[in-house]
Amino acid sequence: MSQRTAAHHVRLGLFVLAGLACLVITLFLLGRQQNLFSRSMTLEADFRNVSGLLAGNNVRLGGIPVGTVRRIQIINDSTIRVTMNLNRDVQPYVRRSTVATIGTDGLVGNTIINLEARPGAAPAVQPGDRLATSAPVGIDEMLSTLNVSNKNLIGITQDLRQITQKLNGSDALWQLLDDEQLATDARRSLSSIAGATARLDAAARDVEQLTSGVRQGRGVAGYLLTDTTFAGRLGHATRQLAGTSDTLAATLTGLKRQVQTQKGPLNTLLADTAFSRQLRQSMRHVEQGTAGFSRSMEALQHNVLVRGYLRRQQKKQARAALSPRPAARP
Amino acid sequence: MPNYPILALTGGLARFASRFFRDGFRPRYEVGEWLYQCYVVGYQSLPLVGVTGFIMGIVLTLQSRPTMAQFGAESWIPAMVGLTIIREMGPIITALIFAGKIGSSIGAELGSMRVTEQIDAMEVSGTNPFKYLVVTRVLATTLMLPMLTLLADAIALYASYIGLNMRGVTTLALFVNNILGRLTFGDALPAFVKTFFFGFAVGLIGCYKGYYADKGTEGVGQAANSAVVVSSLVIFILDLVAVQITGLLGLN
């Protein structure tokens, strides 16, 4: 009996141990999942809207669960403070610049907090730090934006409708579109434009030939522009001209000096007032002399000695005056 | 006063339970008999409970696969089956099987002892039959049913893992992580705690029905039968109460 009882006790002990082991393992795994046994640190984040977040929801860093939500408090009407328990092991990887956002696990899963790293260096967080947050794109905001877009679309389509109505009602436009003659005219204009451009092209080619000829030294302009001996001659002529003008300048300088000399004849002629008075007196004397001479000559005409000669002279003059008329008559 | 059997049963059970608490915690303790009852009630029920749990796990997995595949949610089968087994199916199926096996045997054993006047003989010989027979059995069922449920859960989950691998490939690590990813203390602990009450109900009702059996050998059969029926009903009622209480505690 006692041996049987001992065997019973061993089996019973194994049975109970197995059952308790299942319980303990399950509870331990659950506890480890919720960071009950690892060293943890708390972080805070202020949100405007936590979209149904509950205490115990997961906190993820780069998609990996690193902690849980510990407490959710209402600070004021627009601030919800979420306290998170994070595993100590991830402390070096959570930077001060990390941004916390509210997200969902899958399309219809639990609400979670995502910690997203931002570029740039920042020190690691310390327990009790408050992280920055950013509001996710909410469906409500998307819908309100879409509402504005829809209103704009209505305006645009209304305008388009008015435009098409006006276009439909416009006779001129339709005549323009229906007119086949117009197309023919347009085609002809285009062909004449093509001809004009062809001629323009030929003219341009001529100009090109001319310029190339000039460049090669053919023709007058080319000779002028390219002949080096001509240029040398031109330089020689210019130098001669310069010498001539130098000589002229020297002559003029000499002349000027002579004029300015006080005793010189030219200066006397031009500047001496006494000389000009004497000259005027002399001229008056000459005048009186010529008047006396004129009287003397008239007296001479009445002289007997020369009267016959003068009469012959008068007759000869009269005949010369009559004769050109019969000569011109035939 | 009209005769309501259900009220009489409830009152009798309440008095029986108060007597259990009054006598059970006073010396002298029947440790040897309690350990033997634990062996009989727990260890010897394990094969039956284990087979039940295994089939439950594999059937749940295979049955849910077509529906989940329609939704493209085959990866959710471990989580769904795991939650179902741990929260509800494991405790309730194990308790019902336990009631069928242990409740009936206790009822029949105590009933036959009653009708053959062995219990009266115990009282005459100076042994407290309530302590020796009832307290040891009720304590044994109360403590062994949670153990059986835990082992049945483990076996059922392993069976579910086998069932998943019959139609696809899932590693054990992924399976465990899938379940643990969805499981919380709120799922596991209430389910564990309520099995104590299930075990207590099975032992108490079996003992009550056997202890107060009468009408000879016919009464023994009646005691065994009604012990199973009533304890199964009480298990469901307790389950309903448990779900309400966990809901009030915010653990659902």
Query: How close are the terminal C-alpha atoms of chain B, in Å?
Result: 43
The residue among B216, B217, B202 whose CA lies nearest residue B49 is: B202
Q: Say if residue A75 is in the same domain as residue A127.
A: yes
Query: Is the pLDDT at B38 greater than 80, yes or no?
Result: yes
Give the closest of A12, A29, A34 to B39, CB-based. Answer: A12
**In the listed set A139, A157, A183, which residue is the last one of a domain according to the structure?**
A139
Instruction: For residue A26, tell me if it sits in a domain.
Output: yes
Structural domain including A117 reads: 42-139
pTM of the model: 0.61
Residues A7-21, buried b or exposed e (16+ Cβ, 10 A)? ebeeebeebbeebee
Task: State whether A22 and B42 contact (CB < 8 Å).
Answer: no
Residue A273 counted as domain residue? no
With cut-offs at 50, 70 and 90, classify the pLDDT of residue B219. Answer: confident
Chain A hits for B148, CB-CB cut-off 8 Å, are: 19
For the stretch A100-126, pLDDT in tens is 988 887 776 778 898 888 888 888 888
Q: pLDDT at position A160, please?
A: 95
Q: What is the pLDDT of residue A3?
A: 58
Same domain? For A82 and A15 the reply is: no
Q: DSSP labels for A20-52?
A: HHHHHHHHHHHHHHTTSSS-EEEEEEEES--TT
Q: Does residue A248 fall inside a structural domain?
A: no
Q: Do the chains contact at B180 and A27, CB–CB below 8 Å?
A: no
Q: How far apart, in whole angstroms, are the C-alpha atoms of residue B242 and residue B194?
A: 7
- Chain B residue whose CA is closest to A7: B39
Same domain, yes or no: A98 and A80: yes
Interface of B with A in 153-172 (CB under 8 A): 153-154
CB-CB under 8 Å, A23 with B192: yes
Q: Contact at 8 Å (CB) between A105 and A52?
A: no
Rounded to whole angstroms, the Cα distance separating B85 from A330 reads 164
Contacts (Cβ under 8 Å, ≥6 apart) of B36? A5, A8
Looking at mean pLDDT, say which of A104-108, A295-299, B241-245 comes out highest: B241-245
Residues B151, A22: C-beta atoms closer than 8 Å: yes
Helix (H) or strand (E) holding A66: strand A64-76
- Contact residues, chain B, for A16 at CB < 8 Å: 38, 42, 147
Which residues, including other chains, have CB under 8 Å from residue B54's CB and lie 6 or more apart? Answer: B155, B156, B158, B159
ipTM above 0.85, yes or no: no
User: Is A56 in contact with B38 (Cβ distance < 8 A)?
Assistant: no
Q: Which of A93, A110, A139 corresponds to the end of one domain?
A: A139
Residues from chain A contacting residue B32 (CB–CB below 8 Å): 5
Same domain, residue pair A27 and A46: no
pLDDT, tens digit, for every residue of A198-245?
999 999 999 998 888 877 777 777 777 777 787 788 889 999 999 999
In chain B, pLDDT over 70 holds for what percent of residues? 99
Interface of B with A in 58-117 (CB under 8 A): none
Is any Cβ of chain A less than 8 angstroms from the Cβ of B35?
yes
Within-domain flag for A51: yes
Contact B183 A30 (CB under 8 A): yes
Specify the number of domains making up chain A.
2
Q: Report the residue of chain A nearest B191, measured CA to CA.
A: A23
A95/A89 Cα distance (integer angstroms): 13
Highest mean pLDDT: which of A59-68, A125-134, A154-163, B71-80? A154-163
Residues in chain A, overall count: 330
Q: Do A12 and B192 touch (CB under 8 A)?
A: no
Question: Smallest CA–CA separation between A23 and chain B, in Å?
Answer: 7
CB contact under 8 A, B38 and A22: no
Cβ atoms of A47 and A133 within 8 Å: the answer is yes
Q: Would you state the structure tokens that stand for residue B211, as one six-digit string?
A: 């202890």
Where do the domains of chain B lie? 37-248
Indicate yes or no: CB of A30 within 8 angstroms of CB of B188: yes
- The domain boundary, picked from A139, A158, A182, lies at A139
